């Protein structure tokens, strides 16, 4: 009976060691899976970061282009304003000349 108890205790001890080893292996497997998930997440973040940098470069380029177009539009508005002022001055001069001509013809 005592040999049987000793055998049972050895079996129980081996069983505990086996369970601990299996537990450790499961834990290791879970850690590796988490590490892989983390690597995938980091890779995804790096890709997203690259996409955002690319978008930022495109926006910066578009903004520079917009600034250039805004400047050109401002210059065109100023040129149009000057042209309108010249046309207005020419129209006034024509009116004045017509009035002078009418006065001269009347005085003759």
Cα–Cα distance for residue pair 24/32, rounded to 1 Å: 12
**Residue listed under structure tokens 């069983």:** 15
Closest CA to 68 of 60, 56, 80: 60
What is the reported pLDDT for 3?
65
Q: Would you give the distance in Å from CA 5 to the centre of its chain?
A: 72
Residue whose structure tokens are 């400047």: 71
Model pLDDT, residue 108? 81
Percent of the chain topping pLDDT 70:
97
The pLDDT tens digits for 24-57 are 999 999 999 999 999 999 999 999 999 999 999 9
Could you tell me the two tokens for 38? 């983390």
Kindly report, residue by residue over 5-22, the tens digit of the pLDDT.
898 899 999 999 999 999
Rounded-to-integer distance, Cα 67 and Cα 83, Å: 24
Q: How far is CA 20 from CA 17, 24, 57, in A?
A: 5, 6, 55
What is the Cα 97 distance to its own chain's centre?
62
Q: Give the pLDDT score at 85.
A: 96
């Amino acid at each position: 009976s005592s040999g049987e108890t000793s055998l049972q205790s050895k079996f129980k001890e081996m069983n505990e060691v086996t369970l601990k080893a299996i537990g450790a292996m499961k834990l290791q497997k879970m850690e590796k899976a988490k590490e892989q998930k983390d690597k995938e997440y980091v890779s995804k973040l790096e890709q997203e970061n690259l996409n955002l940098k690319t978008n930022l470069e495109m926006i910066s380029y578009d903004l520079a282009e917009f600034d250039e177009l805004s400047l050109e539009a401002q210059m065109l508005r100023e040129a149009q304003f000057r042209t309108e002022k010249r046309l207005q001055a020419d129209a006034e001069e024509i009116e004045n000349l017509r009035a002078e001509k009418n006065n001269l013809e009347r005085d003759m």
